[in-house]
Amino acid sequence: MAELAPLMDSLIDAARAARLNAHAPYSRFKVGAAILGESGRVFVGANVENAAYPQGQCAESSAIGAMVAAGDRRIRMIVVMGGEPADPLCTPCGGCRQRIREFAAPDTPIHVCDAAGLRQSFVLEVLLPQSFGPDNLTF
């Protein structure tokens, strides 16, 4: 796990920087995400709220869009950062869990952070048990 420390630090820093750029004028709850793609590149996203609330985007969704636009199709690891140390844990919402599942295996690590750093790590299968994914649609 020690060899992953610099990579984790890099992903946490990328999610922290993305969080600072979030557009959250309504909730004032900024979230950033950083994805390690199959190529080894890092893709970031931030939540982008909209006055027409359902039209907003979550940080994870924004990062997935950046990954796909760049040509990667697999998530190797994801970091989600939201809130302050005293805030409740900010895990991906249900919709983002399904979006992550589209591009990640059940054992893909999801690291949840706050402004101070890592709070808890999960694998996707824990956050989205018995998920429905691309493998359910084999033809």
Catalytic residue among 3, 38, 60, 125: 60
Please give the DSSP secondary-structure letter assigned to residue 39.
T
Q: Strand pairing partners for 118?
A: 113
3-class secondary-structure state, position 3: helix
Nearest to 19 by CA among 68, 87, 72, 74: 87
CB of 79 closer than 8 Å to CB of 17: no
Please give the DSSP secondary-structure letter assigned to residue 23.
B
60 is catalytic: yes
- CA torsion sign for 132, 111, 19, 64 is negative
**Could you give the angle at which helices 59-69 and 94-103 cross, rounded to 10 degrees?**
20
Token digits for 117?
């750093």
Instruction: Please identify every residue annotated as catalytic.
Output: 60
